[in-house]
């Protein structure tokens, strides 16, 4: 992406908002005003990207094809990879390859990796051999690793250079690397990472001073297989603009930019949200229908069996319900209240895990804390719900509600905090369908505990 300073114009914002509200109207307007579309894409590719994401893929591809290759590449760079892939698939392979070639390799890899198999093969075959090789190399790495986030366009210099020679070399590299020139990495003859030099230190160094004298040795780095969460944490902890990435033998192969780290953190957060309710961790609104259905169906089946389990528990208290039909009206309230409380605990724990704020040694303390919160809230809500139940249905019903609510709140606090901790200890994703397991526990305890209390007290 070409670096530019700009201010968004109100007209561009209006077109973006129109596309989000009425995609067909925006499409017709831009087709009738091609000059305005080209100006918008060149000045604010961010707004142009939002417009293309809002309209259908076929007209979006037509609009993209009306742009200069560099401008079109900038717009694609601002789009979500899945959305950009949907548009790219509407173009001929040679046109798509031209756009991919104009993009930075890491951004291009994200888009090409989101294409379906046939389109991906066609685009890669249409690329020139060097670009095809670079892209294929990046696609080897999983998208949730440092290798999947990195760009291979980096400023690296041999350790034998002087500071003056390095400055001259960087002037040549500037046009090629552009915004990727964040740090200067120093490597040995075999390409292994030795150190890093900031541009400030390089500028103030004496021209004859060797790079080995001004560089920071053994810099913080990740390997290609490092999880993206860990890579993002390293960037945040050490306040880096970019994180060098090496292979398993120490050769410098790329960098993870802070912008990519921020996107990775956002991706992890959204994956946790979808995983909590049993949707695919990598699912988005651009995921094909059948793939989404396959990912969601197993957890819906799990919910089905949970429903049968809850029904079985309730059936055991058929006589109790028959003796006072009012109990059937108050059962869901107990489960609902505790379920909300448990979800609060679940959200707090998963958020702490996501940002690295809950190491394993601290987990028991966090679970005890949420149990205590459940106790305090359980007592308060038990008194309120019990009083309300007594006023509406009588004192005996009020006591049953109060006892059941208090117990279920304790269970919900413990389960909401404990489920993600147990999943992490088992080596699973802490967010993996945690909400489903929590709902199972709070519903079974809520319905069963309420009816058991009623059978004892009534």
Q: What string of pLDDT tens digits covers the 458 residues of the chain?
A: 444 444 455 566 788 888 888 888 888 899 888 899 999 999 899 999 999 999 999 999 999 999 999 999 999 999 988 889 999 999 999 999 999 999 988 889 989 988 988 899 999 999 998 888 888 888 899 888 999 889 888 888 999 899 999 888 888 777 666 655 778 899 999 999 999 998 888 888 899 999 999 999 999 999 999 988 889 889 988 989 899 999 999 999 999 988 888 877 776 666 666 665 555 555 666 667 777 777 778 878 888 888 898 889 888 988 888 888 888 888 889 989 998 999 899 888 887 887 667 888 888 999 999 999 999 999 999 999 999 989 998 888 899 999 999 999 999 999 999 998 998 888 877 776 688 888 889 999 989 989 998 888 87
Q: Which residues have CB under 8 Å from 184's CB, separation 6+? A: 155, 156, 157, 166, 170, 196, 197, 198, 199, 202, 211
Which residue intervals of 158-225 are DSSP H helices? Answer: 163-177, 199-204, 211-214
- CA 31 – CA 262 distance, rounded (Å): 35
Q: Which domains does the chain have, with CATH numbers?
A: 10-140 (1.25.60.10), 156-258 (3.10.580.10), 277-457 (1.10.357.20)
- Tell me the whole-structure pTM to 2 decimals: 0.64
- CA 1 – CA 242 distance, rounded (Å): 16
- CA 339 – CA 87 distance, rounded (Å): 42
Angular region, 394: left φ>0, alpha ψ -120 to 50, beta rest: left
3-state secondary structure 11-26: HHHHHHHHHHHCHHHH
- CA 360 – CA 421 distance, rounded (Å): 8
- Alpha carbon dihedral 347, 348, 349, 353, in 10-degree steps, equals 100
Stated as kind and residue range, the H or E segment containing 26 is: helix 23-32
Tokens for 146? 């440092």
- Sign, CA torsion 424/429/434/436: negative
DSSP 8-class letter at 158: E
Tokens for 336? 């609902």
Which residue intervals of 254-325 are DSSP H helices? Answer: 258-276, 289-315, 318-323
Beta bridge partners of 51: none
Which residue intervals of 355-431 are DSSP H helices? Answer: 363-393, 395-425
DSSP 8-class letter at 313: H
Please tell me the predicted confidence (pLDDT) of residue 277: 58
Please tell me the predicted confidence (pLDDT) of residue 384: 94
Cα–Cα distances (Å) from 316 to 323, 335, 405, in that order, read: 14, 17, 20
Please tell me the predicted confidence (pLDDT) of residue 275: 60
- CA 275 – CA 255 distance, rounded (Å): 29
């Amino acid at each position: 992406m070409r670096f530019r300073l700009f201010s968004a114009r109100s007209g561009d914002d209006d077109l973006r908002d129109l596309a989000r509200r009425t995609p067909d109207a925006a499409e017709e307007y831009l087709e009738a005003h091609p000059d305005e579309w080209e100006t918008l894409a060149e000045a604010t590719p961010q707004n142009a990207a939002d417009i293309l994401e809002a309209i259908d893929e076929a007209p979006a591809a037509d609009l993209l094809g009306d742009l200069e290759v560099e401008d079109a590449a900038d717009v694609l760079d601002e789009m979500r990879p899945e959305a950009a892939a949907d548009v790219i698939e509407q173009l001929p392979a040679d046109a798509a390859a031209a756009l991919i070639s104009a993009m930075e390799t890491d951004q291009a890899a994200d888009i090409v990796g989101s294409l379906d198999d046939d389109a991906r093969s066609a685009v890669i075959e249409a690329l020139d051999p060097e670009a095809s090789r670079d892209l294929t190399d990046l696609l080897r790495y999983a998208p949730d690793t440092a290798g999947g986030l990195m760009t291979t366009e980096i400023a690296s210099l041999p350790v034998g250079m002087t500071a003056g020679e390095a400055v001259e070399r960087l002037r040549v590299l500037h046009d090629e690397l552009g915004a990727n020139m964040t740090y200067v990495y120093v490597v040995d003859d075999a390409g292994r990472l030795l150190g890093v030099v900031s541009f400030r230190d390089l500028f103030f160094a004496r021209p004859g001073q060797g790079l080995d004298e001004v560089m920071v040795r053994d810099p913080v780095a990740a390997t290609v297989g490092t999880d993206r969460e860990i890579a993002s944490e390293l960037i945040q902890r050490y306040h880096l603009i970019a994180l060098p990435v090496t292979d398993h033998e120490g050769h410098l192969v790329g960098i993870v930019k802070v912008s990519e780290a921020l996107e990775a953190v956002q991706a992890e957060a959204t994956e946790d949200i979808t995983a909590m309710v049993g949707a695919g961790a990598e699912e988005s609104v651009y995921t094909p229908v059948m793939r989404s259905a396959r990912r969601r169906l197993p957890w819906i089946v799990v919910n089905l069996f949970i429903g049968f389990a809850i029904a079985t528990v309730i059936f055991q208290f058929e006589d109790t319900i028959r003796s006072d039909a009012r109990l059937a009206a108050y059962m869901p309230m107990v489960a609902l209240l505790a379920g909300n409380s448990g979800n609060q605990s679940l959200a707090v724990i998963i958020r702490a895990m996501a940002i690295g704020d809950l190491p394993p040694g601290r987990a028991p303390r966090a679970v005890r804390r949420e149990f205590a919160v459940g106790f305090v809230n359980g007592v308060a809500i038990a008194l309120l719900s019990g009083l309300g139940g007594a006023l509406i249905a009588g004192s005996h019903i009020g006591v049953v509600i109060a006892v059941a609510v208090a117990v279920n709140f304790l269970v919900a606090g413990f389960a909401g905090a404990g489920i993600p901790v147990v999943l992490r200890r088992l080596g699973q994703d802490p967010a993996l369908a945690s909400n489903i397991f929590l709902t199972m526990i709070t519903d079974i305890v809520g319905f069963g505990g309420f009816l058991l209390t009623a059978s004892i007290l009534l």
